[in-house]
Structure 1
Amino acid sequence: MNSNLDLSSKFRLFYKISLFLSILIFLNLLYGPLVRATGSGLACPDWPFCFGKIFPTFDFQIFMEVSHRYYSGFLGLILLGLTIWTFIDKILRKEFGIYLGLAVLLLISQINLGRLTVTLKLDPTSVNLHLLNAIAFFLVILTVSISAREKSEKENSKFIVSSSLFRKDNILLFILIIGIVVQIVLGGRVSSHYAGLACPDFPTCWGEWIPNHPLEIVKIQVFHRFGAYTVALLLAISLAFSIWKRFPITTRRLLQMSMYLLVAQIILGILNVFFGLPKLVTVLHTGFAVLLLTFSYLSLISRAVFLTSENERRPGN
């Protein structure tokens, strides 16, 4: 009995630490766009130091860039500690070893992409990959947190089995998640190409839905807008399908919350156009995009967890 209690306590502690790390990573996903919105992305012309120093002479932009690096380094230390604990503990290694190994690889990739972002002078490709890699890192740690919570409540149960995740009736949720990721990429292109104000009006662009404009940044902005309309359609269909098929209540609620986030995201996009990209609104626009992806991802995970649990309760399993 005592050993079971100890095991449950271990999973609860692991859950709390991984959840804390997930929150910190999400905040860093807001910090990065804030660095860019304040024009601080190249405040330090070198990497990993800033003007050859660990602690350079600070002005506002240098402080924004350097503090972002310090904060990211702090996250790396937490991940390192969590990974060491995982691999020296047989039970944790069995449950979370693959996740933490993947997280470490993503962190290494993120560090390298951060270096390229500076050395390639904010090259759009490296900037977008930097954001996508950070989101993948966040989702992996969030998955670890969810799994640890499940284990703390039901030690002997499986988190998710592939047959519960890769089902025909989950296809819409997968398409929705892919659609949101593509839209985030399109949003990254808008930011990295400075196309946020390429269309001065909304919902049309230069008075037309599909303007015949010679500037590439106008096309980038229009693609981003039509991406938003596509995501809205995919989310509406996914929500309707989940209600029709009587998906678990948690899944339906997460999709409903995703719809609210999408509405807020569209409003933020409109505010960006009419108020000339206010820094706070720009950062929130990125944050809500990540939250939309997170809640849609959690809707898929919640259904897979539910189906796995139902399968384990059936006689003979």
Structure 2
Amino acid sequence: MAKPWFARLALIAAIFAFCVSVVGAFVRLTDAGLGCPDWPGCYGRLVVPQSEMAITLANEAFPERPVEIAKGWKEMVHRYLAGILGLMIFALSIGALKDRRETGQGVGLPVFLSGLVIFQAILGAWTVTWQLKPVVVMGHLLGGAATISLLWWLAMRENGWFRDTGERIHRRLRAVAVAVTAVVVVQIALGGWTSANYAALACTDFPTCHGQWWPRADFGEAFVLWRGLGVDYEFGILDNPARVAIQLTHRIGAVVTLLAVLGLVAYLLTKVRDRVLRNIGWVLGGLILIQFALGISNVLLSLPLSIAVAHNAFGLLLLVTMVTLLFTLRHRKLDPASA
């Protein structure tokens, strides 16, 4: 059994990781991803250049990227928060290793999270030094989602939540939940690809695109993952048909995700007696409907910042709720009749 401080820190870290990811979305959506053209500092400093002399020196060192103080601070605040999160995760790993004999503390997940957060830092550096390369930006987003999910799993495990209620579940429910979670992850990746390629407003109407159900789209060009180095991807490099292809794919994925999650919700609410699972079903149903509505609003309202950030946040909440479902199902016994 983990010590109380460990369980509390795991929960705090999970919530903090969610906040860091939402701040990252805000940075990306305000075009501040290159607010500091170097890493880990900002124009070679630990803080954004403020004085006239510091700004002059920074502009001389990085003539291709003049100082924009507001964007620089957005980027640096995100880095500071990510650094604090990394320290939390390292503390969890050290604590797990220290207490593994005394309390039987599991060390695999905390240590893996330490490795993941180091890899996230590398992706963060590449995001800047490779000038917002879409595959790196998408990978950074997925790494953040994985960090949140695993920290939440750790928090649920160490706090003893969602344990067995004595109810039995059908064998296939676990497999279906895993499949729906995979659909959600793929859709999050598509959302990251859409954002990284500045394709969110490739279509400004809904449900049609440019007044057509299937406008001209270049799928071959839209999903090229690697285009070499030395390219500045800020504001995107794809032409409109390629961006339309990305937008259409994301829309199709949204419909598939909506149907998959609602199908799972319907099963949980009509076929399952376990109160915890039914409550999770209600939460899932509400989140997927809100998320779908936010996606439509982004298009019709031309990507307002508040709605765009909320779209990122609710996507993560949807994933966390799916992880909660998977964790809960793991702690339910199978119905012998379903074997």
- TM interval, shorter chain, is 0.7 to 0.9
1:229 aligned to 2:255? yes
Mapping of residues 168-317 of structure 1, within 5 Å:
168-213=172-217, 215-246=241-272, 248-307=274-333
Matched to 1:95, the amino acid is Q
Taking a change above 3 Å as real, the CA distance of residues 283 and 64 of structure 1, as seen in their structure-2 partners, is same
Partner SS state of residue 38, structure 2: coil
Choose which of 134, 141, 150 in structure 2 pairs with 1:131.
141
Taking a change above 3 Å as real, the CA distance of residues 262 and 169 of structure 1, as seen in their structure-2 partners, is closer
How far apart in 1 are the matches of 2:93 and 2:112? 10
Q: How many residues align?
A: 293
How far apart in 1 are the matches of 2:102 and 2:263? 39
Matched to 2:141, the amino acid is L
Q: Percent identity?
A: 31
Report the Cα offset of residue 207 of structure 1: 2.1
2:234 is matched with which residue? Answer: none
Alignment check: 8 A CA contact 1:113 1:126 kept: yes
1:62 aligned to 2:88? no
Moved more, 223-232 or 47-56: 47-56
Matched to 2:292, the amino acid is I
2:16 is matched with which residue? Answer: 24
Structure 2: runs of 5 or more not aligned? 51-68, 219-240
Report the Cα offset of residue 210 of structure 1: 2.4
Report the Cα offset of residue 96 of structure 1: 2.7
Listed one character per residue, the Cα deviations across residues 178-199 of structure 1 (whole Å, up to 9, x for unaligned) are 0000000111111011011111
Report the Cα offset of residue 268 of structure 1: 1.2
Alignment check: 8 A CA contact 2:149 2:319 kept: no
Mapping of residues 155-166 of structure 1, within 5 Å:
none
Listed one character per residue, the Cα deviations across residues 44-89 of structure 1 (whole Å, up to 9, x for unaligned) are 1111121111123141100000111111111111112222111111
1:99 aligned to 2:109? yes
Structure 2 length-normalised TM: 0.81
Structure 1 length-normalised TM: 0.86
Taking a change above 3 Å as real, the CA distance of residues 180 and 210 of structure 1, as seen in their structure-2 partners, is same
2:128 is matched with which residue? Answer: 118
Alignment check: 8 A CA contact 1:40 1:64 kept: yes
Choose which of 72, 75, 82 in structure 2 pairs with 1:72.
82
Matched to 1:52, the amino acid is G
Report the Cα offset of residue 217 of structure 1: 0.3
1:45 aligned to 2:49? no
How far apart in 2 are the matches of 1:182 and 1:188? 10
How far apart in 1 are the matches of 2:84 and 2:94? 16
How far apart in 2 are the matches of 1:41 and 1:34? 9
Listed one character per residue, the Cα deviations across residues 196-246 of structure 1 (whole Å, up to 9, x for unaligned) are 111111112122332234511001001101101001111122122234442
Taking a change above 3 Å as real, the CA distance of residues 255 and 52 of structure 1, as seen in their structure-2 partners, is same
Partner SS state of residue 333, structure 2: helix
Matched to 2:74, the amino acid is M
How far apart in 1 are the matches of 2:45 and 2:170? 50
Matched to 2:14, the amino acid is S
Alignment check: 8 A CA contact 1:262 1:292 kept: yes
For the aligned residues, what is the CA RMSD? Answer: 2.4
Taking a change above 3 Å as real, the CA distance of residues 255 and 208 of structure 1, as seen in their structure-2 partners, is farther
Alignment check: 8 A CA contact 1:255 1:296 kept: no
2:64 is matched with which residue? Answer: none
Alignment check: 8 A CA contact 1:272 1:278 kept: yes
Partner SS state of residue 82, structure 2: helix
Structure 1: runs of 5 or more not aligned? 1-6, 154-158, 312-317
How far apart in 2 are the matches of 1:247 and 1:181? 27
Report the Cα offset of residue 90 of structure 1: 2.4
The structure that is helix-richer by fraction is 1
Taking a change above 3 Å as real, the CA distance of residues 62 and 170 of structure 1, as seen in their structure-2 partners, is same
Matched to 2:41, the amino acid is F
